[in-house]
Amino acid sequence: MSVFLMSPWRTFCAYVMSFNVTISVHPFCIYECFCTNDSYVSHYILSLLRKCCNIIFESCVNCQGRSFDMKDTLIKYIKRHGSSFAVIATAICLSALTYAPEAAYTVKEVIGIETSGEAGHASPPEISAENAILIDADTGIVLYEKNADEKAYPASTTKIMTSLLAIEKLEELKSPLDQEVLIPSDAAGIEGSSIYLEAGEKVRIIDLIYGAMLRSGNDAATALAIIIGGSEEEFVRLMNERASEMGLSGTNFTNPTGLFDENHYTTARDLATISKISIKNGTFREVSASKEYKAERDADKYNYFYNKNKTVHQYDGGNGIKIGYTEKSGRTLVASAEREGKTLICVVLEAPCWFDDAYALLDYGFSQSM
């Protein structure tokens, strides 16, 4: 069963109807269970189902109208969110089976999980991204790749290098990250995402780093470049120098923000390498993993940064690292997650369903060691 972007109510109905496909239970059986007035359990299950629908509806929004299989989406979220989502799914199924016991199936038949036949060897997922790679962050082993060496545009995932370089330079100088700096006029009013810096404003460097990484502030990234490098041009030179030190051959930076430029490009493989090195830095890792942050700015300033990278909010074990978007670059995402001591890094570029792609790849990667 496939659905397109629709109202929350229609998504709710489509979700209920999907069980007719999944477990051959007539949807009215589920509806009857939900509407039973003398059972508080039914109302509890209904509230859980609504929570499910919010997650599914968000998937519709993420895919921007691109069709996807509702049953597969349910399976994916059961795997991703673990026991909490499994409880919801089980409650729904059990409620339905109470009214249609002849429809009882095994768990395997209900969720229809497909593998290659060997435990820990699930088939690679189909993804929307034009370029992608999945690596083990500790060993560097590539678990999946798709056009990983093709030229692509990173958008704001550029700020991974910007932030790492700023942190490294300050560490070299043994300069404190909480020092206050004056915002240069050239950093104020930069187009795109912003933390609304004002020329001459005093801001701590660590707040600029959080602003660049969580809020994806172009003004914060530009301020870091000018303050650390002396000029934006010099900082960009340092970015390319650092890329060369990392052994990257398919990357060139022209700005610290990721705003589109034909000569500002990378590859999925190079971006994975940058990310692998970045998360080894303790300060960077802490920033990247943060779900939210409050900057020490005046009360009338924009000082609350909510991490736009939904991986840290949604994905089980998600701990970084950066999203990006421009009209010409498309949606870009570097996502990392850790489970049972194993850390994976996923890069998806020009990915209409960026988070779904990343989560599917991470699920696949973790399944290889299960």
Q: Catalytic amino acids? A: 156, 159, 216
String of DSSP letters for 223-266: HHHHHHHSSHHHHHHHHHHHHHHTT-SS-B-S-SS----TT-BB
> What does the block give as tokens for 1?
């069963």
The rounded Cα 107 to chain-centroid distance in angstroms is 29
The pairs formed by 32-36 with CB atoms below 8 angstroms and a separation of 24 or more are 32/99, 33/95, 33/96, 33/98, 33/99, 34/95
DSSP track, 159-217: HHHHHHHHHHHHHHTT--TT-EEEPPGGGTT-SSS-----TT-EEEHHHHHHHHHTS--
Distance CA 71, CA 57 (A): 14
Strands 292-294 and 202-204 come out as unpaired
Cβ atoms 154, 328 nearer than 8 A:
no
**Rg (alpha carbons) of the chain, rounded to whole number:** 23
Hey, what are 346's tokens?
A: 């996923």
Cis peptide upstream of residue 111 (ω within 30 degrees of 0): no
Q: What's the CA dihedral at 240, 244, 247, 249 to 10 degrees?
A: 70
Cα–chain-centroid distance for residue 125?
A: 17
> Dihedral of CA 355/357/361/364: which sign?
positive
Helix axes 282-289, 159-172, angle to 10 degrees: 140
Residues in contact with 111: Cβ distance below 8 Å, sequence separation at least 6, in sequence order: 22, 74, 75, 78
